[in-house]
Every structure is written in structure tokens, then in C-alpha cells.
Amino acid sequence: MTKKIITGGTIVTATDTYKADILIENEKIAQIAAKIIDSEAEIIDATGKYVFPGGIDPHTHLDMPFNNTVTDDDWESGTIAAAFGGTTTILDFCLTAGETKLSNAIEKWNEKSKGKAAIDYGYHLMISDLNEETEKELPLLLEKEGITSIKVFMAYAKEFQATDRTLYKAFKIGKETGAVVMVHCENGSVIDELVEQAKLAGNTAPIYHALTRPPELEGEATKRAIELAHVAGATLYVVHVTCKEAVDEIIKAREKGYDVYGETCPPYLTLDQTALEKPNFEGAKYVWSPPLRPISHQEPLWNALKAKQLQTIGSDQCSFNFNGKKQLGLNDFSKIPNGGPFIEDRFSVLYSEGVAKGRISLNDFVDMISTSAAKIFGLYPQKGTIAVGSDADIVLFDPSVKRTISAQTHHMNVDYNAFEGLEVTGEPISVLLRGEYVIKDKQFVGSLDYGKYIKRKLAKKLSDEEAVVPN
């Protein structure tokens, strides 16, 4: 690997903004100084660009079976699109539902990602149910595989929803191992009843997806998860927070000193519930869960981000083609596969709507798009910052570019873009992963076997006795 020097750019981390050169050697940042001279190094001119740490997307669903089908972006298209968008590491949800041994799920996810990852990655282990065996297996597997995060759903009653008892058990394991427990907070059982009532009343259009999942049911589930996590003594991470009700619960809990983090996603900050009313079934493009909310919920989300009461931005990438799998729900909104294509635009939409519009600072942007996730999920300081010794995961970002997001130009394997027509300021021009170009001058030059599985360290080490794998 040739050495590289990035020169002339403005380095931005979660805490600092300054001009300096960066020397990259053996995949790492070897030196940061006002002027670096090394005749053997390739020079990368970053004049006029921000030099950001690579984005970390803590919430993706690639090649995932869901809603009787499977997502349309797999690891190849998903990670390439992520790289174009400035993301160099993803944490994907590994589904264990239906597996007798949790390790089988890891094997399946390894098969999916093998030779198909253009960027680095890790997994969160998704738990629907725990029995005597899997309860024993879970802590060992987390340690063995270097996984620091468990995911539990309080929704999707027919597929993944866990009981409160299972949720509590997951929190206990979180407490014992130091794993963060991520929760999708919606009251799935009540939603199921509302969905049934809507259908009985003959309401089949996409908008009923939103109307049967009111924000109160997200707020209620968020509060329940917060209290259960607190009783168990676990760290809770609330995924895809969409509404004032949930934000308020998170703020109240954090003010009491509870160990709670929150994530939101670009569509909740920029789109609203009226998108589901689009004619000709186009509302189906905007069906995901929790749903888009009335526009009044956007301000509380921005305010919570600004106040650092919400810490991270996930994409919740979970894509289905409109002229394909979304049509499964043409006559019944409850059969529309839930999810949208966001992995590519997460970074740029937050920069443009957040920084360029003066809602958040440049340093807070870096924190939300990269650093906080690295810290919460055990990747920091290997990833999530620009510092000597960190992986050379770097985005050269031109803040002067204006462009329009469109499915015509995106790289995801879907026929629509939920941000179609949105004019954004700024664009990732080149992206390096561990010192190698993945994107160079807006062209993909990476390789699908360069992306590496990153083992993370649990906050608590199991004792030697506990760590004995049962037969």
C-alpha cells in the first residue's frame, strides 16, 4: 500500500475544525501536522474540501427477509451505494428469528456479506425470543463474534415482536455483558388491532399505514422500553425515533440519569405523513415503520439532535422496488413491505438540511453521522474520528456543490428515491477506507473483498467460568 498525504483540506471532527495535512500509512492515520513532506507518498489535494471521518451507519437491513419477501439491496449494491454517500462502516441487523441456534444466523449473515462488502461492517444480533439454550448462547456468541449490540422489536407482531418478558431478559443480558440493547419502540399488538379494524372498515390505501400507527403508540412503547431497561440496569438505544412523544420520553429519562440513547433518520427530519397520500399508490414508496409523521414532529427531532438528546443518525436502509415488491400491498396497505432506500443519502441529507441550513453545527454533524455511533457501538477510536492511530476512513466532501437527489443517478438497487427532487448542498467526492480509495472523484474504484468484518469489544468481559461454551 502506498503512503498517501491528504493536503490542503479542512479536517472536521466531532470537536475540532482545523487545517492540516494527514499522512496515511498501513491503513491508519500515521501523522497529522501543519505540513507533511514525504517524497514516497501519493499526494491528495483536498483544497476547498472538508475532510470528514468516514460515516458510520448504525442501522441497515441488507439482503434481509422481511414481510414475506426480501430487501432489494444486498451487500454488494448496499455497500457500494453507502460508499458513494460517504459511509465507510455499517452495522447491519442479523436476524435470528426461527433459528434454534443463534450462531446459525451469524453463519447466514456471513454468507450474505462474504465477498460483497465494499466497506467495513459489523452486526447487531436481533432477538425475537429467548429460551434456556439461546439465553446461555447469547452472551458467549456476543463475545466470540465481537458483537456489542442486541436488537429487539416491540412491533411486527407476526414476525419479530418480542414479549415484554423476552425484552426484559435481553436487557438483563445487556446488563451482564455490557451490550447495548437497541429497541424498535412501537406497541405492535395494539397496532395489529388498529390495522385489522381499518381493513374491516375497507380502508386499504397506503395512508392507513400511518394512521394505524399513531405517535402515542411509539411514545408508550418508548416509555415501556426505558423503564424495563432501567429496572434491568441495561443501556438502551431507541432506534428510529420519529415523534415528539418518543423524544419527550427519552429526554425525561436522560434527565433522570437513565442510560438511554436515541437515533433518528433523515426521512423523519425532512418528509411528512402527506407523502403516504400520493396518488396512484405512490404513497407505498413512503411506507416504513414507525411511519412518517405530521410535519409538526420535525422540529422536536431537530431540537433533540441539537441538544444531543438524540445522538445518532441511522439510515434504516430497507429497500423494496416500487414497481416490484411494494406492489404486494396494492389492495391492502398492511401487505406493503415496510422500508425505504436511504443508505446513500443519509450523510448528504443531514449535511444539507442540518449544517447548510444552520440547524446543527459542522462538528455536531460529524458526531451524529459518525463519532457517536462509533462510541456507542464499540468502534471508537479505531473508527469515528480523524486521529493518529485511527483507521484512515476519510471522506473528502465538497460543500460548494449543489445537486438534486434522484433515482436516475443513485446507486441503490431500487427504482425510486424517497428524496427525489430534493436539492442538496455538498457532496462526497472521494472516500477512503483504511487508506484505500473506494470512491475516487465520484467513481467507484473499490473492491468487494476489501470490506472487513470489525470485531468489537463488549464493555464487560465474561469471567473465564462464564465463557465456557456449553456442548
Q: Is 346 in the site for Zn ion (CB under 5 A)?
A: no
DSSP codes of every residue in 165-228: HHHHHHHHHHHHH--EEEEE-S-HHHHHHHHHHHHHTT--STHHHHHTS-HHHHHHHHHHHHHH
Taking CB under 6 A as the criterion, the residue among 60, 79, 113, 289 binding ligand URP is: 289
Could you list the beta-strand ranges (E) of 27-170: 28-33, 42-45, 50-53, 55-60, 65-66, 69-70, 87-95, 120-127, 149-153
Check residue 151 for interaction with Zn ion (CB under 5 A): no
**Which of 4, 49, 61, 244 contacts ligand URP by CB under 6 A?**
61
Q: How many residues bind Zn ion, per CB under 5 A?
A: 2
- Characterize the bridge pairing of strands 236-238 and 180-184: parallel
Report how many residues bind ligand URP under the rule CB under 6 A: 8
Give me Rg for the CA atoms of the chain: 21
- In the complex, the smallest distance separating the C-beta of residue 436 from Zn ion, rounded to whole angstroms, is 29
- Please choose, from the candidates 322, 354, 358, 313, the residue with its C-alpha nearest in 3D space to the C-alpha of residue 340: 322
Partner that binds at residue 339, options Zn ion, ligand URP, none, CB closer than 5 to 8 Å by kind: ligand URP
Residues 58-77 that bind Zn ion (CB under 5 A): none
Q: Which does 215 bind (CB under 5 to 8 A by kind): Zn ion, ligand URP, none?
A: none
Pick 151 or 223: Cβ nearer ligand URP:
151
Supply φ then ψ for residue 30, to 5 degrees: -95, -30
Number of residues written out for the chain: 471
Q: For cell 410535519, name the residue.
A: 295
- Window of 129-137, 212-220, 251-259, 311-319 that interacts with Zn ion by CB under 5 A: 311-319
Measured from the Cβ of residue 155, the count of other Cβ atoms closer than 10 Å reads 25
Residues of 389-417 as b/e, b for ≥16 C-beta within 10 angstroms? ebbbbbbbbbbeeeeebeeeebbbbbbbb
Rule CB under 6 A: choose which of 316, 353, 364, 427 binds ligand URP. Answer: 316
427 binds Zn ion (CB under 5 A): no
Bridge partners of 440?
443
Whole-number minimum distance, CB 61 to Zn ion, in Å? Answer: 5
Nearer to Zn ion, 184 or 244 (CB): 184
* Bridge partner residues of 180 (DSSP): 149
CA distances from 124 to 47, 88, 204, 405, 459 (A): 38, 17, 34, 30, 15
Q: How far is the CB of 345 from Zn ion (least distance, A)?
A: 16
In angstroms, give the least distance from the CB of 339 to ligand URP: 4
Residue 316 contacts Zn ion per CB under 5 A: yes
- Contact status: 218 vs Zn ion (CB under 5 A): no
Q: Which of 124, 184, 223, 383 binds Zn ion (CB under 5 A)?
A: 184
Q: Segment near Zn ion (CB under 5 A), from 182-190, 296-304, 323-331, 452-460? A: 182-190
Please confirm whether the linkage preceding 290 is cis (ω < 30° from 0). Answer: yes
Output 320 or 351, the one with its CB closest to ligand URP.
320
What the block records as the C-alpha cell of 26 is 498501513
* Nearer to ligand URP among residue 113 and residue 338 (C-beta): 338
Q: Which does 338 bind (CB under 5 to 8 A by kind): Zn ion, ligand URP, none?
A: ligand URP
Q: Is 194 exposed, middle or buried (0-12, 13-18, 19+ CB in 10 A)?
A: middle
Nearer to ligand URP, 171 or 286 (CB): 286
- Considering only residues 148 to 207 of the shown chain, the ones binding ligand URP according to CB under 6 A are 184
Site for Zn ion contains 57 (CB under 5 A): no
| Residues binding ligand URP (CB under 6 A) | 61, 184, 288-289, 316, 318, 338-339
